[in-house]
Chain A
Amino acid sequence: MLVHIGYNLLQVAVVIGFAPLVEGVLARLKELVQSKRGPSIFQPYRDLAKLLCKDEIVSRRSSWIFRTAPYVAFTAPVFVALLIPVLTRYPLFFAFMGDMLGVGFVLAFGGFFVALAAVDSGNPYGPMGASRTRMVGFLTEPVFLIVFMIISLVAGSTIPYIVQSEWIRSPAAFFAPWHVLLVIAFLLLILAEDGRLPVDSASGHFELAMIEKSKSLEYSGRGAALMKWGGAMKLFVLMVVFLNVLVTPWGLAGPADTSLAGVLLAVPLVLLKMLIFLVVLVVIESSLAKLRLFRISEFTGAAFVIAVVAMVSRLFAA
């Protein structure tokens, strides 16, 4: 049991440690696609180190919410990392603390706090971003619920570990048409939730058009570092849920081999899967233009339709 706690903490360490790397690789890939060289993939680490050394300036008008938000934003993905199969297929110590809905709640809690802080900051762009994030959230949450419902129909549970082993157990379910639809719907949700194109431009610098980034404009020093790091970890855990639970449930340390070596071996495999996913993400992001704000509902509407079709075809599969 102690070993399981250890592995669980190792998972957290992997998430914290590699999240900036994922961010760096993504940025580099994007530049490469545009035939530029781009910054080193370790640039996010340098940024974080630089920010952590700098002084923090906080508006006198702001309240405690503004000051605590970065810590919440940082810890929410850390908690999530305890619940999901980052490295192992067998459930670890905290696996049954929360299911996929729980994962959603924890991330939403972090997001909620950040939105509050954005309103608190007094910067006019902050509340604008916060309200837009809430709008996207309203549109994506029903779809998330449908996706989770289908998953629970299949696996009889929404505990990520159990869902993941279900795909491995029955390849027929894995290849079923509704599974593809489910995956696509979830991918659209990740794009919307993480502020990726075509919903939001993560690398844009135009405040009026920002959705996700405008909420952390007022942070500096350590606060900015934590927000940035938290954001990277959020993408990381969403990818873990997407890849390890839904799309490619292979490559993790199996129940047969519970040694530390097996668990450590899973790290490069998971990172490799992520690399492939990042390539797909970059292709999506470089081939799509940002949607106008009011067309976001069409985007999430598409995700909704796909999810419902998946549900119908799952419910009535003979």
Chain B
Amino acid sequence: MQAPSTSLLLSIEALASGLFLLTALGTVAARQLLTCFHLFVWQSILLSASAALLGLALSSPHLLAVAAITLATKTMLIPWLLRKTVHDEVYRIREIDQVLNIPTSLLLALVLAGVGYVFFVEMLRGIAVPAYALVNLPIGVAVLLLGALTLTVRREAVAQLLALLVAENGVFFAGIAIVPNLPAIAELAAAVDVPVYTLVVGLLTRRIHSELGTTMVGRLTALRED
């Protein structure tokens, strides 16, 4: 039997997971790049909070480390990197250019998130799984799918990068619940990987902007089968 404080921590973690999913839905619906960016930061804070709560509830120092690393990389380092590499893109481009309109992409998001969520809940039925994994894994999967969808429908470079980061957050969100004790070196390596790809994609965006004068990567269609 869990101590009441543990169950309370886990309850609050479940609450955070609801908000986490909400921020992902927000990035699908957000029309402005800056909103997307803020939603990503909030989402990372929620991810970090969730890891910290799970870490306290399961008394796992690994998860507390993950929480600290997430907070440091995703709410400080990545925004800083983005500002350094694509600063004016984030602020100047007010509205995002989309392949689909927002209601359609929201409906698609709904179907995708629903299917992913249900599939994984059903998948976990036969296995003895802790309750928090049952919450986090399906929600992580849903967020991964939402990120992938956002990536597909957005034409703007920075928006695509943010979608990638959101998808990555989803995977981490699932990860903290199912593998609370990944070797520390792997955690650290994964934590390094995210800033590196932010940097690489950010620099690539800058290169594209300076060479082609646009960051609408979705409008680049020189390469295709004809």
Contacts and interface: CB of A to CB of B under 8 A. Distances in A.
Is A–B contact present in the complex under a CB 8 A cutoff? yes
B114 interface: yes
Interface stretch (B63-71, B100-108, B200-208): B100-108
Contacts of B142: 309
B199 interface: no
B21 A318 contact: no
Given A302-B29, A302-B106, A171 B11 contact: yes
Interface residues of A, number: 24
B57 interface: no
Contact of A177 (B8, B14, B125): B14
B61 interface: no
Given A316-B118, A318-B125, A180 B103 contact: no
Contacts of A317: 121, 134
A175 interface: yes
A179 interface: yes
Query: Chain B at the A interface: mostly helix, strand, loop or mixed?
Result: helix
Nearest to B109: A305
Nearest to A297: B103
Interface in B137-178: 138-139, 142
Given A181-B18, A181-B21, A318 B124 contact: yes
Interface of B: 8, 11-12, 14-15, 17-19, 21-22, 25, 29, 102-103, 106-107, 109-110, 113-114, 117-118, 121-122, 124-125, 134-135, 138-139, 142
Contact of B15 (A177, A301, A312): A177
Nearest to B135: A177
B35 to A, nearest CB: 11
B15 A316 contact: no
The 7 closest A-B pairs by CB, nearest first: A177-B18, A180-B18, A175-B11, A301-B103, A312-B114, A316-B121, A175-B15
Contacts of B11: 171-172, 174-175
Nearest to A182: B18
Contacts of B19: 180
19 contacts: A171-B8, A172-B11, A175-B12, A177-B17, A178-B18, A180-B22, A298-B29, A301-B107, A305-B29, A305-B106, A305-B110, A306-B22, A306-B25, A309-B110, A312-B118, A316-B117, A316-B118, A316-B122, A318-B121
